[in-house]
């Protein structure tokens, strides 16, 4: 069974440029999460989807970040424009459903460097 797929694995851009990350969750997983992990810290949730609905985006900086999961499967996270402080690893995770006993399966992440 394929795991969570993310692309690109690495991205280097200059500040003020736009960038987008793509995530394909494990087949059949209805819940999808985007986390940001700053260097030396644990991941922090940006947004959670149940199917195509964003049910928790309270920590998404909406002035520059946007996300979509149009068909309830894969998802895109966008930053426009990027700032130096956005340099981090962006992790996507999925789980079969919202039940809090379910583990979350993480992808390999996209390492973003903003110059």
Partner 1 sequence: AQKITQTQPGMFVQEKEAVTLDCTYDTSDPSYGLFWYKQPSSGEMIFLIYQGSYDQQNATEGRYSLNFQKARKSANLVISASQLGDSAMYFCAMREGSYNQGGKLIFGQGTELSVKP
**How far is Cα 53 from Cα 62, in angstroms, rounded to an integer?**
16
- Give whichever of 25 and 43 is closer to partner 1, judged by the CB atom: 43
92 touches 4 (CB < 8 A): yes
How near is the Cβ of 96 to partner 1 at its closest, in Å?
Answer: 11
**Residue ranges binding partner 1 (CB under 8 A):** 31, 33, 35, 40-45, 48, 50, 55-56, 89, 91, 93, 97-101, 103-109, 111
Task: Tell me: cis bond preceding 8? Omega within 30 of 0 counts.
Answer: yes
Nearest distance from C-beta of residue 54 to partner 1, angstroms: 12
């Amino acid at each position: 069974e394929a795991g969570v797929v993310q692309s690109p694995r690495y991205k280097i851009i200059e500040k003020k440029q736009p960038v987008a990350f793509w995530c394909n969750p494990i087949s059949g997983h209805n819940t999808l999460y985007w986390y940001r992990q700053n260097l030396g810290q644990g991941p922090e949730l940006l947004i959670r989807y149940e199917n195509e609905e964003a049910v928790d985006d309270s920590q998404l900086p909406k002035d520059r970040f946007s996300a979509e999961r149009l068909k309830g499967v894969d998802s895109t996270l966008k930053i426009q424009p990027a700032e130096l402080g956005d340099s981090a690893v962006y992790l996507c995770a999925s789980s079969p459903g919202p039940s809090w006993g379910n583990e979350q399966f993480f992808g390999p992440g996209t390492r973003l460097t903003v110059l």
